[in-house]
Amino acid sequence: ETSQLDLYIFVQYLLHSQLTEAVDYCHKLGIALKGDIAIGIAHDSVDAWTHPELFHLDKQAGAPPDVFAVNGQNWGFPTYNWEKMAEDGYDWWKKRLTAMSNYFDAYRLDHILGFFRIWQMPENSVRGLLGQFSPALALSAEEIENNYGIPFRQWGIERFILPFIKDWVIDEVFGRDNRDWIIQTFLDYIGDSNYRFKAEFNNQKAIENTQMENWVREGLYKLQENVIFLKDDENSEKYHPRIGLLSTISFREFGDDYKGRLERLYNDYFYGRNYDFWKEKAY
C-alpha cells in the first residue's frame, strides 16, 4: 500500500528527473542557468520534519514595515537556529547548496541579510509589526531608565509592553457607535478606563481564526500593536522598542518631553545600537 510519504518521494523523483533533463538540454545549447534559493523553508517541509532542531519552529520570519508594506511582512516560515547549525559546520546549508548546484550554474540567495539578522515574529503573529531583529541587542529596564530618563518601572512596565486601550482609543479605531459591542465581545475592563483583551482574543492568530468582518479584524490587530516595547524573545527581562512606535496611539498619549526621550531611544536603537553588533556577529 502506497503511503502519502511514498507519493511525495515519487513526485520529488519526477521533478528531479525532469529538471535534470531540462538542464542537460540547455547546456547542450550553450545556455547557463541561474537559480533562486529562498532564505527560508516551510513549517511542513521535509527539512523541518527531519531536522527540527535546526529551526525555531515557534517563530516566524518576515520583514519590518516599509513604504510598500506598512504593516510589515510575515513570510510564515521558521527562523534558523544558527547556534545549532554551527555545531556541524553548517552541514545542512552545504548540502542544500550542493543539491542546487546539480541544477544551476549560478544561484541567488533571496534575502542574503537573513544570514546575519532576520526580522522575527512570534508564531501567533499575523502582521509584521510585533517583530524584532534577531540577533539584536535588547534594552534592559535600567538602560531605558538611566540612559533615556523614561520611568519604565515607576509607571508600570505594563503601560509600555501591553496594548494601550482606553475608551477614546476604541472610539478612534472603531467609532463611538461600535465601542460597547467591541468591549463586550473582545475586551475585559481592568479599571481606570483601561481594557485588556479577553484570553481567547489575546493574539493575532486567534483573531485571524475567528469569523468576523475584515474592518473589525484589522481594528483588533491595530489595538494589539498599540504598544511601545516588546519583550525580548530570549530574555523576558529585556526589551525592544516596537518598530513604528512613533506613529502609535499609545505614543501620542505621552507629553512632549517623554515623546522626545522615546524618539531618541528609538533612533539610537534602530539606527546605531546594533550596527557594529551585526557586523561582528555576521554568520
- pLDDT above 80 (res 1): no
Residue that the C-alpha cell 475608551 belongs to: 167
Q: Where along the chain do its domains lie?
A: 32-133, 138-281
162-171, pLDDT tens digit by residue?
999 999 999 9
Quick check: helix, strand or coil at residue 229? strand
Quick check: helix, strand or coil at residue 66? strand
- pLDDT, residue 160, reads 97
For range 259-283, the mean pLDDT: 87
- pLDDT, residue 148, reads 97
Residue that the C-alpha cell 463611538 belongs to: 176
- pLDDT, residue 218, reads 97
Confidence class for position 112, pLDDT limits 50, 70, 90: confident
Instruction: Count Cα neighbours of 74 within 13 Å in the Cβ-side half-sphere.
Output: 17
As a whole number, the mean pLDDT across the chain is 94
| Residue 153, number of CB atoms within 10 A of its CB | 12
d(CA 96, CA 109): 12
Question: Nearest Cα to 241, choosing from 178, 161, 157?
Answer: 161
Cβ burial of 59 (10 Å; 0-12, 13-18, 19+) is buried
Instruction: State percent of the chain over pLDDT 90.
Output: 87
Which pTM value belongs to this model? 0.89
Residue 87 neighbours by CB under 8 Å, 6+ apart: none
121-134, pLDDT tens digit by residue?
999 999 999 999 99
Cβ burial of 220 (10 Å; 0-12, 13-18, 19+) is buried
Among 2-11, 65-74, 241-250, 254-263, the range scoring the smallest mean pLDDT is 2-11
How many helices (DSSP H) and strands (DSSP E) are in the chain?
13, 13
For range 52-65, the mean pLDDT: 95
- pLDDT, residue 114, reads 86
